[in-house]
Structures are given as C-alpha cells and as structure tokens.
Structure 1
C-alpha cells in the first residue's frame, strides 16, 4: 500500500515526465507518442518505476529499450524540474504497460465467444 507521500511524489514525477516526453520525446522516438500510464515510487522515494505505453510504434520492446538507453538523460531533465522539491532525484526504471493489449485480446475473446452458437439444453426437456 502506497503512502500519501509516495502517491503525491509519483504524481509529480508522472506530470513532469509527461511534459519531458511531450517536448523532447521525438528526439528519442521519432513519430511515436509516449504515454506515462503509471508511476510507482519506493517507500524511500529513491526508485521510480515508470510504466509506458507507445502509440504508433511497430515494436514496443525496441521503443522501451530506446527509452531505457536514454534514462540518464531523462533523469537529468527530470532533476532540473524537481530539484527544488526533493532531496534526491529518483532512479528511473521503465516498464512496458501492456494493459491496452490485454484489453484488446480479451475483447476479441469475448467477441469470439459471442459469435459461437448456443448449445441446446442437454436434458432435452421442454418446459
């Protein structure tokens, strides 16, 4: 269970990282929109786990690895924004948020189930 302090700090990081990706994300990933879906912060506020989703990306794993390779630069830019609010800038860990892919998969399964013909009652009795 996250404390209010962790949640508030995660919100600040999410907002500032979103602005960084909006302004400078094209430098890392041209023609790909990066969305920060969730940020979780460790109790000591030293580690921030950032969950990302990519729009217009053909290879999400490659996009995630590109972001990871620029993590020091992204952390530096984040530090410039939040330096007056925190003692230490957290270490950033990036993860792929595949929630939308999961929802899409489940929708297809439910659609497939809905199209299957209903089986007749096995008892064969008419009421």
Structure 2
C-alpha cells in the first residue's frame, strides 16, 4: 500500500527556478557595483539569498540580508524605495522583454540555521542524536 504525500501544490517549475536565479545574480551584481543612485542603499553590502518568482513570472520576491546583519530594519525599505530603478537595471542587464515586479523580504534562513546549530549544540539533543 503506497502512501500519498501531500504538498502545498506543485513546487516551482524549472522556468521559475531559472528566471529566479538569473534575476538573483543580476540583482546581486547591480547592488555590489552600486549602480543605483541612492547613497543610503549603496552604503549597505546586501546578500541576495534567493529570488522566487510567481508561476506567471510577473512577480519576483528577493530574499535579502545586509552583510554582517546590521541594517536589517532598513534594507527592505531602501530596496522597495528603489525598486523601479532596480527593475529597469535588471531588465536592461538581462535583456528581458518583461521584467517582473520586484518585492523584497528579509531572508530569515540564516537565523533558522543559527537556531538549528544552537539546538544541536545542546547536550541533551546531541546525546539523543549520537545515540541513534
């Protein structure tokens, strides 16, 4: 008897993954080079961890984190304030006919990795894991 595994719908298509990764690279490069005319934004070193696109590729959500963790409170705000210029720069760089609308979210995967590391370093958890 086989078990059915239920997912929250199908995962992203290969096309979504490819477009998201292409946008992630372009956005990282644009931010690294300081191509945007906002001194506040250019002062931050921003890591773009992932870009997820909607199934119709009309929206791209970039998960970002300022390097060193300082400036988390303003990084999303600064990127949102410059999203039209960022969108134009990405479209130009990639030669896209249609560049998705950009959204920005704080990338919390690094926090979760730290939490997981902390959890595994606890004596009772380490003992349980090592016993298996």
* Structure-2-length-normalised TM-score: 0.74
Task: Please point out which of 110, 114, 122 is paired with 2:123.
Answer: 114
The alignment yields a C-alpha RMSD, in angstroms, of 2.3
Q: How does 1:37-76 map to 2 (within 5 A)?
A: 37-76=49-88
Deviations 1:81-115 (A, max 9, x none): 123xx32111001111011122223323443x318
In structure 2, the residue matched to 1:77 is 89
Larger Rg: 1
Matched, 1:11 2:25: no
Do 2:34 and 2:42's aligned partners in 1 also have CA atoms closer than 8 Å? no
In structure 1, the residue matched to 2:7 is none
Separation in 1, partners of 2:120, 2:16: 37
Could you list the runs of 4 or more consecutive aligned residues of structure 1 that deviate by over 3 angstroms after TM superposition?
none
Q: Point out where structure 1 has 5 or more consecutive residues left out of the alignment.
A: 119-127
Matched, 1:34 2:43: no
Separation in 2, partners of 1:109, 1:82: 42
Give the CA deviation at 1:61: 2.0
Q: Point out where structure 2 has 5 or more consecutive residues left out of the alignment.
A: 1-10, 128-132
In structure 2, the residue matched to 1:99 is 109
Give the CA deviation at 1:52: 0.7
Separation in 1, partners of 2:25, 2:70: 26
In structure 1, the residue matched to 2:6 is none
Aligned residue pair count: 113
